[in-house]
Amino acid sequence: MSTTPDLPDPTDLSALAALGDQLSEDDDSEAVRREAAPAESSRASRHWWDRNADEYQDEHGEFLGDARFTWCPEGLDEADARLLGSPDSLKGAKVLELGAGAAQCSRWLAAQGAIPVALDISYRQLQHSRRIDLEAGGEPVAVLQADAAVLPFADGSFDLVCSAYGAVPFSADTAALMREVHRVLRPGARWVFSVTHPIRWAFPDEPGVEGLTATASYFDRTPYVEQDEHGHATYVEHHRTLGDRVRELTGAGFRLLDLVEPEWPDGHEQEWGGWSPLRGRLIPGTAIFVAQRD
């Protein structure tokens, strides 16, 4: 039985704050490595992100900016990297953002003349998108609550699909997700997404020196699962090696144009969880896959 409370009117900000307090009550999860099926993974993600969206936006909102497209904790901006294509190609482009959170990237895309849809599995994350739009008073970003594994769009609906640390690391069947993205893209269109660099799975997720010694096998694809006292997953992340990701993309009908491993920039001192200047100068933290549909 779901424990999610009734959802308030998204324009009632005090009711939203009360809901956030209610949802962020601590649970007693233990961390394990075990299998987690697609339905269990999606359910865990939806509840975890609903419970933790307020904290996430509170902690990272300033870095993310309200209308900035940053790919990763290293701070690589799309405005500089241009992985999605030229500025001209964005004008009038129909773009789907997966795992959009508060839709900061989609808001940047809209400012470039694109027509974005920000999709996320978490209602609470999307309420933050609404909050930002209400505060700014501009045209709201179109948002949609859905699981990225099952996209509610017709074939060939989009000119571009992108994701900054969105649904991909949390989905159990990413080979199917790649096929689903391929289906909703028009021929020749790009699919660009960032994820935790796979090498990081061999190291503890710690920003300090303890995060510099490999303690797990890079080749162990067993998901990272936090589970409650009944053994139900409350948080799930799925690992793929670099080769797995390439095979999933090409198997779905994509051509890999680039694999970007952003370096930690000089002068960037802001940590993000296990991402820190110390580790960032030694090992990659992010992998960005730039793919094109056949």
Ligand X SMILES: C[S@@+](CC[C@H](N)C(=O)[O-])C[C@H]1O[C@@H](n2cnc3c(N)ncnc32)[C@H](O)[C@@H]1O
Residues near ligand X (CB under 6 A) = 42, 45, 49, 64, 98-101, 120-122, 125, 147-149, 164-167, 170-171
CB of 91 to ligand X, least distance (A): 22
CB of 72 to ligand X, least distance (A): 9
CB of 52 to ligand X, least distance (A): 9
CB of 124 to ligand X, least distance (A): 8
Smaller CB distance to ligand X: residue 78 or 120? 120
CB of 170 to ligand X, least distance (A): 4
Q: Are strands 286-293 and 254-260 parallel, antiparallel or unpaired?
A: antiparallel
Torsion angles phi and psi, residue 292, rounded to 5:
-130, 135
Smaller CB distance to ligand X: residue 43 or 293? 43
Distances (CA, A) of 273 to 60, 73, 178, 286: 10, 9, 27, 13
Q: Are strands 286-293 and 94-98 parallel, antiparallel or unpaired?
A: unpaired
Smaller CB distance to ligand X: residue 76 or 93? 76
3-state DSSP call for residue 63? helix
Instruction: Give the Cα separation of 278 and 271 in Å (integer).
Output: 9
Smaller CB distance to ligand X: residue 101 or 116? 101
- Strand extents, DSSP E, 20-98: 30-33, 94-98
Smaller CB distance to ligand X: residue 213 or 270? 270
